[in-house]
Structure 1
Amino acid sequence: MIALDDTDRALIRALAQDATASAGALGRDLGLSQPACWRRIKRLREAGVFRATRLDVDSAALGFGVTVFLGVKLATKGRVSLEDFERAVSAIPEVQTVEHVLGAYDYRLRVVARDLSDFERVLRRRIMTLPGVGNLDANVLLSEERRPGPLG
């Protein structure tokens, strides 16, 4: 684990807001020179604090009006390996996240679809045919008020 000071935490918050901000602009905002800011970013990246730089895409603007959180309980864990299930479910383009969880279900999936009938198609033709799928539980996202920010 890397030791973070207040400047590192401020830098993480600033990059979480705008990952495209330059080291010069960030440095000006944080009272650092461009090279000092760049070295901090490099140190944080090399320490694994930043896993990736991603584009935050608005699914609704692309025509995906429905988001469903799907709980998946595998029927028999002994017959199908978790890796086989994970590999198969990760190949479905509508599945945005695959989380192996502890609790009532083995996996939690975030699935996007154009509408409910499109979700039903994805569910019936793609998800329910995956190896080892047993029980399913669906929760339709009504609104998303806040996305969690960085812990720093």
Structure 2
Amino acid sequence: MLDDTDRRILRQLLADPVADSAELARRANVAPATLWRRLDRLRARGILRGVEARIDWRALGYAVEVSLRFTLDKTEPRAFDAFTAAARQVPEVIELQSFLGSVDVRLSVIARDMGDWQRIYRDRILPLPHVTDIEPLMLVSTIKDTGELAL
């Protein structure tokens, strides 16, 4: 699937995603033309989907992050679709995931402070449709936050 050259390129890209192509090629020990061909091939195969910006929400004044686990009404056939459509409209929702098991959906919600969180919860979260149970988990600290995997 991946050869050693692909792995070197991906490791260097993960280590410094904003490095220019010449620097990335140098670090991966390949010619710039080889780097571009390899990156194009990795994109075409769906392995490399793009480069994304990671925002530190705390640096922008969002001091509170809450993970909310929802159980939805299983008797309503359109519950999932209606819930996710409504949840996508909440500006403070930064992540929306679905699961198999007793929890159907998880949202990550950010707020500036506890007063802001209470307003968001009362005005935007509680009115979400087809909810049978909500379990909020307040983030205390992030111990590991990486998309890296040994290549």
Alignment TM-score, normalising by the size of structure 1: 0.89
AA aligned opposite 1:67: E
How far apart are the structure 2 equivalents of 1:76 and 1:148? 34
In structure 2, runs of 5+ residues without a counterpart are none
**In the alignment, is the contact (CA less than 8 A) between 1:70 and 1:109 conserved in 2?**
yes
In structure 1, runs of 5+ residues without a counterpart are none
Match of 2:126 among 119, 128, 149: 128
Which residue is equivalent to 2:11?
13
Cα distance per residue 1:111-130 (max 9 Å; x no partner): 11111221121111111111
How far apart are the structure 2 equivalents of 1:76 and 1:129? 18
**Structure 1 counterpart SS, 2:148:** coil
**In the alignment, is the contact (CA less than 8 A) between 1:79 and 1:132 conserved in 2?**
no
**In the alignment, is the contact (CA less than 8 A) between 2:69 and 2:136 conserved in 1?**
yes
Match of 2:25 among 9, 24, 27: 27
**In the alignment, is the contact (CA less than 8 A) between 1:67 and 1:141 conserved in 2?**
yes
Identity %: 36
AA aligned opposite 1:63: G
**In the alignment, is the contact (CA less than 8 A) between 1:12 and 1:150 conserved in 2?**
no
Report the CA distance between 1:16 and its aligned residue: 2.1
Which residue is equivalent to 1:66?
64
**Structure 2 counterpart SS, 1:126:** helix
Report the CA distance between 1:142 and its aligned residue: 0.9
1:90 aligned to 2:88? yes
How far apart are the structure 1 equivalents of 2:20 and 2:47? 18
How far apart are the structure 2 equivalents of 1:39 and 1:118? 48
Cα distance per residue 1:92-112 (max 9 Å; x no partner): 111111100122210011111
AA aligned opposite 2:111: A
How far apart are the structure 2 equivalents of 1:68 and 1:26? 37
How far apart are the structure 1 equivalents of 2:139 and 2:119? 18
How far apart are the structure 1 equivalents of 2:59 and 2:117? 17
How far apart are the structure 2 equivalents of 1:6 and 1:145? 30
1:31-70 correspondence to structure 2 within 5 Å: 31-70=29-68
**In the alignment, is the contact (CA less than 8 A) between 2:12 and 2:28 conserved in 1?**
no
Report the CA distance between 1:13 and its aligned residue: 2.4
